[in-house]
Structure 1
Amino acid sequence: MNFFGVVYLATSKSKKLLQSVQNGLTIIKLFTKDKPLWGITEISRELNLPKSSVSRIVADLVDEGYLEKSVRQYRLGLSLLCLAGVLTTHLEIHREAVEPLNLLVNRIGETAHISILEDDRIIYLLKTECKHPVRLLSYIGKDNPAVCTSSGLIMLAHQPMEKTIEVISKGLPQMGPNSFTNQEELLQELQYIKEKGFAICIDVLHIDVVSIAAPIRDYTGKVIAAVSAAGPRQRISESKMMELVLEITKTAEAISKRLGYLESVFIDI
């Protein structure tokens, strides 16, 4: 087979895969409170799809836990409940963090973020700009390597060791001049960060930029997000760093309390 034939087959397979995904999502959307159960024939008729295609897609959705079989019909599976729980948590963090984050930026005069950890990267859920922002190219939804950010480090410091090792084993991206190059040194730094309760990065993600982060906990005491602030080195002296640490830590604690965390009840392990 020539080159063009290979390209055609690859493109054709990609289109079929995309169509299957779209059909799968369309099938899931059929399930409502008023109509929680659907059969293969009903789905086929409703969506005008071949029964063979519906049967195959439904079988895949069952295998992944997104649908469950109930006699000859199907209902939504628990995997969707897990996804809903993740979304609800993220929405709750966003809702409870807006006011404290705005107050933080007003007090310190630097841009601040709320981030979550997804695999080996952090994702910004919320961002509040200061009056004189630095060009950091950060925005809501953007991701960065966890090991190159203060928010990523503070969250990794509170992960189970196997999770931390898994992230580190994927590599240490070299972003700024002070990016970590040695896994053992990084693990030692994470232990130090956990003991201190905050993380400081200088020239790690961007040159001439300082970022500081503190952990946000949920009602169980688990670290689920981080609040961080970043600014240029010329504005953030060593003495100001400790002022920022205090303010950022206070903000993280305030958000944690809004999420139901009671410090006197939980002991971090």
Structure 2
Amino acid sequence: MQTENSLSSVRNALKILHSFTMNHPQKGVRELAKELGIGKSSVQRILITLASEGFVKKDNETNKYELGVSVLGLSSIVLANIELHTESLPEIKKLAERCQLTCHLVVLENLEIVYVHKEEGRYSINLPSYSGLYNHSHCTSSGKLLLAYSDPAFREVLIERGLTQFTPNTITNPTIFRDELRHIYKKGYSVSNEEFQIGVNSISTPIRDHSGKVIAAVNLVGSKSRLSKQRFSSFTKELKQTGVNISEKLGHGIMSKF
């Protein structure tokens, strides 16, 4: 019963948020109750909760409510992700064509990586890395790179949880793993030598937003023979340039040119 009541409250809260429009940016308790068919006491209670979290705010002059800054915060995240995907796609396609390997756009979420986009090249290998798939961060080049640029306290949660071994090359020692992340941070790119899957190597480089913050990674993945240690240097050069190109499209480094 309590679960049903909670779900009902969530639905009503969403109805209230969706009821605000450009033509009607402010609404009162009585108005919302009548429009949505919700009791006035319930509307009042929900509005107080939403206001405490910044999703609505009360105009003391009109005694009505309007959307708050927390809604703007969520929308900016959505818009940023749309921009990231839009600006990255052409560059990732060109990279996959030039290097003839699989290329991914990757972000970090809840200590795991998420594949946002995938482009295959001529010599791509069969990988279950479709868009929206979550994967481990500690044993993938993109994951290690994004962890290297994340808050130290954030990545310590992952380390304390344990570094699962997938191959003999997976780094499972916390001290060695921390050293690896420091090394990645200094050199600006990350490598995975069969750390997640035998016979598969990958390299990753960061994508930065206008403020210089690392918000995503772009990687190249290939077989051990195609993406060999001997060829890391040439592939890394291509990959880094792609990361720079995407970052510039997102506004990074623009002011330094003036």
TM-score, normalised to structure 2's length?
Answer: 0.90
Report which stretch shifted further, 256-265 or 186-195: 256-265
Partner of 1:114: 105
- Structure 2 unmatched runs, 5+: none
Matched positions, count:
255
**Counterpart residue type for residue 121 of structure 1:** E
SS at match of 1:211: strand
Cα distance in 2 for partners of 1:58, 1:174 equals 48
SS in 1 for 2:138: helix
Change (3 A) 1:170 1:84: farther
**Which residue among 145, 154, 157 is the counterpart of 1:163?**
154
Residues 125 and 141, structure 1, Cα contact 8 Å, conserved in 2: yes
Tell me, in whole angstroms, the C-alpha distance in 1 between the residues paired with 2:162 and 2:46. 36
Which residue of 2 is the match for residue 221 of structure 1? Answer: 212
Q: 2:234 maps to which residue?
A: 243
Structure 1 counterpart of 2:244 = 253
The alpha carbon displacement at 1:185 in A equals: 1.1
Asked if residue 23 in structure 1 is aligned to residue 22 in structure 2, the reply is no
Deviates more, 1:234-243 or 1:220-229: 234-243
Summarize the Cα distance change of 1:95–1:239 in structure 2 as closer, same or farther, 3 Å threshold.
same
Cα displacement string for residues 141-198 of structure 1 (whole angstroms, at most 9, x for unaligned residues): 2222222221121122122333333443343233444333122111100111111111
Q: Is the 8 A contact 1:119 1:167 kept in 2?
A: no
The 2-side partners of 1:186 and 1:57 are apart by: 46
Residue 197 (structure 1) aligns with: 188
Gaps of 5+ in 1: 1-11
> Which residue, out of 198, 212, 237, partners 2:203?
212
Give yes or no for the alignment of 1:37 onto 2:29.
no
SS in 2 for 1:114: strand
Inter-CA distance 67–103: structure 2 relative to 1 (3 Å threshold): same
Relative distance call for 1:179 and 1:73 in structure 2 (3 A) is farther
Corresponding residue of 2:134: 143
What is the distance in 1 between the residues matched to 2:77 and 2:41? 33
How many Å apart are 1:59 and its aligned residue? Answer: 2.1
1:14 is aligned to 3
Q: Is 1:123 aligned to 2:114, yes or no?
A: yes
Match of 1:262 in 2: 253
1:184 and 2:175 correspond: yes
Give the equivalent residue in structure 2 for 1:4: none
Q: 1-side partners of 2:68 and 2:157: how far apart?
A: 29
Instruction: State the alpha-carbon separation in 1 of the partners of residues 54 and 135 from structure 2.
Output: 30
Length-normalised TM-score, structure 1: 0.87
Cα displacement (A) at 1:31: 1.1
